[in-house]
Amino acid sequence: MKKLTYIPVTLYKLYFFLVFLITFLPLYPIYYFWLTDEKHFDKGFWLSRWHARTVLFLTFIRYEIKYEAPIDKNKVYIITPNHQSYLDILMLYVIIPHRFVFMAKKELGSIPLFNIFFKKFSILVNRRNPVEAKQALKIAAKKIDMGDSVVIFPEGTIPYDTPKLKRFKNGAFKLAIEKHVPILPIVFLDNYKLMEDKGVWQSFARPGKAHIIVLSEIDTQNLTDEDLVPLREQVYNRINRHLQ
Protein backbone atom coordinates (compact mmCIF):
# COMPACT_ATOMS: atom_id res chain seq x y z
CA MET A 1 0.00 0.00 0.00
CA LYS A 2 1.40 3.39 -0.94
CA LYS A 3 2.30 5.63 1.98
CA LEU A 4 0.14 8.44 0.60
CA THR A 5 -2.99 6.27 0.91
CA TYR A 6 -2.14 4.67 4.25
CA ILE A 7 -3.46 7.46 6.48
CA PRO A 8 -6.87 7.99 4.78
CA VAL A 9 -7.41 4.24 4.53
CA THR A 10 -6.62 3.74 8.22
CA LEU A 11 -8.88 6.65 9.19
CA TYR A 12 -11.72 5.23 7.11
CA LYS A 13 -11.38 1.78 8.70
CA LEU A 14 -11.44 3.35 12.17
CA TYR A 15 -14.47 5.40 11.17
CA PHE A 16 -16.26 2.29 9.85
CA PHE A 17 -15.54 0.41 13.08
CA LEU A 18 -16.75 3.31 15.23
CA VAL A 19 -19.97 3.66 13.20
CA PHE A 20 -20.72 -0.02 13.66
CA LEU A 21 -19.87 0.07 17.37
CA ILE A 22 -21.79 3.28 18.14
CA THR A 23 -24.90 2.01 16.35
CA PHE A 24 -24.59 -1.52 17.73
CA LEU A 25 -24.06 -0.93 21.44
CA PRO A 26 -27.37 0.88 22.12
CA LEU A 27 -29.17 -1.89 20.22
CA TYR A 28 -27.43 -4.74 22.02
CA PRO A 29 -30.02 -5.19 24.80
CA ILE A 30 -32.76 -5.38 22.14
CA TYR A 31 -30.72 -7.80 20.04
CA TYR A 32 -30.13 -9.92 23.13
CA PHE A 33 -33.82 -10.11 23.91
CA TRP A 34 -34.99 -10.70 20.33
CA LEU A 35 -32.26 -13.03 19.05
CA THR A 36 -32.27 -15.44 22.00
CA ASP A 37 -36.02 -16.04 22.01
CA GLU A 38 -37.53 -17.83 19.02
CA LYS A 39 -40.80 -15.89 19.44
CA HIS A 40 -38.97 -12.66 18.57
CA PHE A 41 -36.72 -13.87 15.74
CA ASP A 42 -38.71 -11.93 13.13
CA LYS A 43 -38.22 -8.66 15.01
CA GLY A 44 -34.52 -9.43 15.51
CA PHE A 45 -34.11 -10.03 11.78
CA TRP A 46 -35.83 -6.77 10.80
CA LEU A 47 -33.70 -4.88 13.31
CA SER A 48 -30.61 -6.44 11.70
CA ARG A 49 -31.81 -5.28 8.28
CA TRP A 50 -32.34 -1.73 9.50
CA HIS A 51 -28.97 -1.75 11.27
CA ALA A 52 -27.12 -2.98 8.16
CA ARG A 53 -28.70 -0.27 5.98
CA THR A 54 -27.81 2.37 8.57
CA VAL A 55 -24.16 1.29 8.77
CA LEU A 56 -23.80 1.25 4.97
CA PHE A 57 -25.43 4.67 4.68
CA LEU A 58 -23.27 6.28 7.39
CA THR A 59 -20.06 4.78 5.96
CA PHE A 60 -20.86 6.08 2.46
CA ILE A 61 -21.18 2.66 0.84
CA ARG A 62 -23.79 2.53 -1.90
CA TYR A 63 -24.97 -0.49 -3.83
CA GLU A 64 -26.50 -1.38 -7.15
CA ILE A 65 -28.39 -4.68 -7.23
CA LYS A 66 -29.44 -6.39 -10.45
CA TYR A 67 -32.06 -9.15 -10.14
CA GLU A 68 -32.27 -11.68 -12.97
CA ALA A 69 -35.69 -12.60 -11.58
CA PRO A 70 -37.71 -11.42 -8.59
CA ILE A 71 -37.08 -13.14 -5.26
CA ASP A 72 -40.21 -14.97 -4.11
CA LYS A 73 -40.81 -13.84 -0.52
CA ASN A 74 -42.90 -16.94 0.10
CA LYS A 75 -40.12 -19.39 -0.77
CA VAL A 76 -37.37 -20.83 1.37
CA TYR A 77 -33.95 -20.77 -0.33
CA ILE A 78 -30.43 -22.00 0.12
CA ILE A 79 -28.60 -18.75 -0.67
CA THR A 80 -25.10 -19.28 -2.10
CA PRO A 81 -23.07 -16.08 -2.56
CA ASN A 82 -19.41 -15.88 -3.43
CA HIS A 83 -17.40 -14.48 -0.53
CA GLN A 84 -15.17 -11.43 -1.03
CA SER A 85 -15.41 -9.31 2.10
CA TYR A 86 -17.12 -8.94 5.46
CA LEU A 87 -19.24 -6.37 3.64
CA ASP A 88 -21.00 -9.35 2.04
CA ILE A 89 -22.82 -9.97 5.33
CA LEU A 90 -24.23 -6.44 5.55
CA MET A 91 -25.16 -6.49 1.86
CA LEU A 92 -27.17 -9.68 2.23
CA TYR A 93 -29.48 -7.96 4.70
CA VAL A 94 -30.15 -5.38 1.98
CA ILE A 95 -30.64 -7.92 -0.82
CA ILE A 96 -32.86 -10.59 0.75
CA PRO A 97 -36.36 -9.36 1.66
CA HIS A 98 -37.37 -12.17 4.01
CA ARG A 99 -35.89 -13.92 7.03
CA PHE A 100 -32.71 -15.92 6.63
CA VAL A 101 -29.96 -17.27 8.84
CA PHE A 102 -26.24 -17.57 8.22
CA MET A 103 -24.14 -20.67 8.43
CA ALA A 104 -20.86 -19.14 9.60
CA LYS A 105 -17.45 -20.28 10.75
CA LYS A 106 -17.19 -21.24 14.42
CA GLU A 107 -14.61 -18.51 15.17
CA LEU A 108 -17.30 -15.83 14.90
CA GLY A 109 -18.98 -17.27 17.97
CA SER A 110 -16.01 -16.25 20.13
CA ILE A 111 -16.22 -12.52 19.32
CA PRO A 112 -17.64 -10.70 22.37
CA LEU A 113 -21.04 -9.03 21.85
CA PHE A 114 -21.10 -9.88 18.13
CA ASN A 115 -21.67 -13.55 18.96
CA ILE A 116 -25.25 -12.68 19.94
CA PHE A 117 -26.15 -13.22 16.27
CA PHE A 118 -25.05 -16.87 16.49
CA LYS A 119 -26.14 -18.06 19.94
CA LYS A 120 -29.57 -19.22 18.74
CA PHE A 121 -30.48 -17.34 15.58
CA SER A 122 -27.83 -18.39 13.07
CA ILE A 123 -25.59 -21.46 12.86
CA LEU A 124 -21.91 -21.91 13.65
CA VAL A 125 -19.94 -24.64 11.92
CA ASN A 126 -16.49 -26.09 12.46
CA ARG A 127 -15.63 -27.16 8.93
CA ARG A 128 -12.44 -28.86 10.11
CA ASN A 129 -14.47 -31.33 12.14
CA PRO A 130 -16.65 -33.57 9.93
CA VAL A 131 -18.90 -34.58 12.84
CA GLU A 132 -19.58 -30.98 13.86
CA ALA A 133 -20.05 -29.94 10.22
CA LYS A 134 -22.65 -32.68 9.77
CA GLN A 135 -24.43 -31.55 12.93
CA ALA A 136 -24.51 -27.96 11.65
CA LEU A 137 -26.24 -29.15 8.47
CA LYS A 138 -28.86 -30.91 10.61
CA ILE A 139 -29.49 -27.64 12.45
CA ALA A 140 -29.76 -25.86 9.10
CA ALA A 141 -32.34 -28.43 7.99
CA LYS A 142 -34.40 -27.63 11.10
CA LYS A 143 -34.16 -23.92 10.30
CA ILE A 144 -35.52 -24.65 6.82
CA ASP A 145 -38.40 -26.58 8.37
CA MET A 146 -39.13 -23.46 10.46
CA GLY A 147 -39.40 -21.43 7.24
CA ASP A 148 -35.97 -19.77 7.30
CA SER A 149 -33.78 -19.46 4.24
CA VAL A 150 -30.13 -20.34 4.90
CA VAL A 151 -27.08 -18.45 3.64
CA ILE A 152 -24.09 -20.70 3.02
CA PHE A 153 -20.92 -19.31 1.43
CA PRO A 154 -19.95 -22.38 -0.62
CA GLU A 155 -16.28 -21.37 -0.78
CA GLY A 156 -16.18 -21.75 3.01
CA THR A 157 -14.05 -18.65 3.52
CA ILE A 158 -12.93 -15.41 1.89
CA PRO A 159 -10.26 -16.41 -0.66
CA TYR A 160 -6.94 -14.66 -0.21
CA ASP A 161 -6.78 -14.09 -3.98
CA THR A 162 -10.35 -12.85 -4.35
CA PRO A 163 -12.09 -12.17 -6.75
CA LYS A 164 -10.78 -15.53 -7.99
CA LEU A 165 -13.35 -18.12 -6.95
CA LYS A 166 -12.37 -21.06 -4.71
CA ARG A 167 -13.78 -24.48 -5.47
CA PHE A 168 -17.15 -24.97 -3.79
CA LYS A 169 -17.79 -27.33 -0.90
CA ASN A 170 -20.69 -29.80 -1.04
CA GLY A 171 -22.69 -28.84 2.07
CA ALA A 172 -25.03 -26.22 0.60
CA PHE A 173 -25.95 -28.40 -2.36
CA LYS A 174 -26.39 -31.57 -0.35
CA LEU A 175 -28.77 -29.67 1.94
CA ALA A 176 -30.71 -28.17 -0.97
CA ILE A 177 -31.24 -31.61 -2.54
CA GLU A 178 -32.15 -33.23 0.78
CA LYS A 179 -34.78 -30.57 1.61
CA HIS A 180 -35.86 -29.94 -2.03
CA VAL A 181 -35.19 -26.22 -1.58
CA PRO A 182 -34.17 -24.01 -4.52
CA ILE A 183 -30.68 -22.54 -4.74
CA LEU A 184 -30.40 -18.74 -5.01
CA PRO A 185 -26.91 -17.80 -6.27
CA ILE A 186 -25.64 -14.27 -5.62
CA VAL A 187 -22.60 -12.60 -7.21
CA PHE A 188 -20.65 -9.96 -5.33
CA LEU A 189 -18.64 -8.32 -8.08
CA ASP A 190 -16.43 -5.84 -6.26
CA ASN A 191 -16.96 -5.80 -2.49
CA TYR A 192 -13.27 -6.65 -2.10
CA LYS A 193 -12.41 -3.28 -3.66
CA LEU A 194 -14.28 -1.51 -0.86
CA MET A 195 -13.08 -3.63 2.04
CA GLU A 196 -10.35 -6.22 1.74
CA ASP A 197 -9.82 -9.11 4.14
CA LYS A 198 -6.03 -9.12 4.46
CA GLY A 199 -5.50 -8.19 8.07
CA VAL A 200 -6.41 -5.08 10.03
CA TRP A 201 -3.48 -2.94 8.88
CA GLN A 202 -2.66 -4.49 5.53
CA SER A 203 -6.14 -4.44 4.00
CA PHE A 204 -7.51 -1.66 1.84
CA ALA A 205 -10.85 0.03 2.54
CA ARG A 206 -12.75 2.97 1.11
CA PRO A 207 -16.27 4.26 0.54
CA GLY A 208 -17.82 3.63 -2.86
CA LYS A 209 -20.42 1.69 -4.82
CA ALA A 210 -20.85 -2.09 -4.71
CA HIS A 211 -22.31 -4.03 -7.62
CA ILE A 212 -24.31 -7.19 -7.00
CA ILE A 213 -26.17 -9.64 -9.22
CA VAL A 214 -28.89 -11.91 -7.84
CA LEU A 215 -29.13 -14.81 -10.27
CA SER A 216 -32.35 -16.65 -11.01
CA GLU A 217 -33.11 -19.55 -8.69
CA ILE A 218 -32.22 -23.16 -9.47
CA ASP A 219 -34.90 -25.74 -8.76
CA THR A 220 -33.84 -28.89 -6.89
CA GLN A 221 -37.26 -30.52 -6.54
CA ASN A 222 -36.47 -33.60 -8.62
CA LEU A 223 -32.76 -33.92 -7.86
CA THR A 224 -31.09 -36.78 -6.00
CA ASP A 225 -27.67 -37.27 -4.40
CA GLU A 226 -26.35 -38.28 -7.82
CA ASP A 227 -26.99 -34.71 -8.97
CA LEU A 228 -24.94 -33.11 -6.19
CA VAL A 229 -21.71 -32.55 -8.14
CA PRO A 230 -23.44 -31.32 -11.34
CA LEU A 231 -25.53 -28.91 -9.23
CA ARG A 232 -22.44 -27.64 -7.42
CA GLU A 233 -20.61 -27.10 -10.69
CA GLN A 234 -23.63 -25.41 -12.28
CA VAL A 235 -23.77 -22.83 -9.49
CA TYR A 236 -19.99 -22.37 -9.56
CA ASN A 237 -19.97 -21.76 -13.31
CA ARG A 238 -22.89 -19.33 -13.21
CA ILE A 239 -21.21 -17.20 -10.53
CA ASN A 240 -17.73 -17.47 -12.06
CA ARG A 241 -18.98 -16.36 -15.48
CA HIS A 242 -19.88 -12.95 -14.06
CA LEU A 243 -16.61 -12.61 -12.15
CA GLN A 244 -14.63 -13.14 -15.33
Kindly report, residue by residue over 94-141, the tens digit of the pLDDT.
999 999 999 988 887 778 888 888 878 889 888 778 888 889 999 999
Domain that holds residue 78: 3-243
Q: Which helix (H) or strand (E) holds 34?
A: helix 28-35
The whole-number pLDDT of residue 217 equals: 97
Give me the pLDDT at residue 199, please.
63
Domain count, the chain: 1
CA distance 74 to 91: 21
- Give the strands of the sheet with 123-125, arranged side by side: 61-67, 208-214, 183-188, 78-81, 149-152, 100-105, 123-125
pTM of the entire structure? 0.92
Tens digits of residue pLDDT in 183-223 = 999 999 999 999 987 765 667 889 999 999 999 999 999 99
CATH number at residue 234: 3.40.1130
Is 168 a residue whose pLDDT tops 90? yes
